[in-house]
Amino acid sequence: MKVSATQGRTPCLVCGAQAVETTNDPVTVEFRDGSYVVEGFEYDRCSACGEEYYAAGQVDAIHAQAADQARVERGLLFPDDIVRLRLDLGLTQTALDGALGASPGTTGRWERGTVIQPAVADRLMRLLWSHPELVTEVVQPVARESRGPYRPRR
C-alpha cells in the first residue's frame, strides 16, 4: 500500500496507519440479551486495523437508538413515556426510584435513554400510571404499619 494514496489523513491512534476514513456503515450494538443494528451515523474507522472513532456524544446517541429498537421489540415504555408518567404521578426521579425499589439515579438513566428498564419495572410503572391511587402504597410503605392488618388492636 502506497502511503501517498492516503497522505493527509489522520494516523490511526491504535496501529499508526494513515488509513482512517469516514464511513456511515451500520453499527451493531450488543446488549445483554440481544444485538441491534443502528444506521445513519457518520464516524471514522481505520481500514487497516478496524478501530472505530466516534465524536463526543455519538456513542450515547448510538446506544440510545439501539435501546429504542429494543424497547419496540420488547414492548417497553420509551424514555419520554417514563418522564410523562412520573410527572403525572407527581413524583421526583428520586421518589420514583424509591417507589420501584431501584437504586438512586436509576429513573434518570431510563429517562435519558441510556439504560433500558427491566420488564418488571416497566409493568409496575404502567400499573401506577393507570392506578395512581396505588402510588401511596409504594412511595410511603411506612404508612401501611398504621393500617389494615398492621393496625395495633386497642
Binding site for Zn ion (CB under 5 A): 12, 14-15, 17, 46, 48-49, 51
Shortest Cβ distance from residue 38 to Zn ion (Å)? Answer: 22
- What are all long-range contacts of 36-44, with beta carbons under 8 Å and residues at least 24 apart? 36/66, 36/69, 36/70, 38/62, 38/65, 38/66, 38/69, 44/10, 44/20
Judged by CB, which is closer to Zn ion: 45, or 86? Answer: 45
Shortest Cβ distance from residue 62 to Zn ion (Å)? Answer: 20
Shortest Cβ distance from residue 25 to Zn ion (Å)? Answer: 16
Judged by CB, which is closer to Zn ion: 12, or 77? Answer: 12
Shortest Cβ distance from residue 98 to Zn ion (Å)? Answer: 47
Shortest Cβ distance from residue 12 to Zn ion (Å)? Answer: 3
Characterize 29-56 residue by residue with b for buried, 16 or more Cβ atoms within 10 angstroms of its Cβ, and e for exposed.
beeeeeebebeebebbbbebeebeebee
Q: Is 66 exposed, middle or buried (0-12, 13-18, 19+ CB in 10 A)?
A: buried
Judged by CB, which is closer to Zn ion: 14, or 135? Answer: 14
Judged by CB, which is closer to Zn ion: 52, or 68? Answer: 52
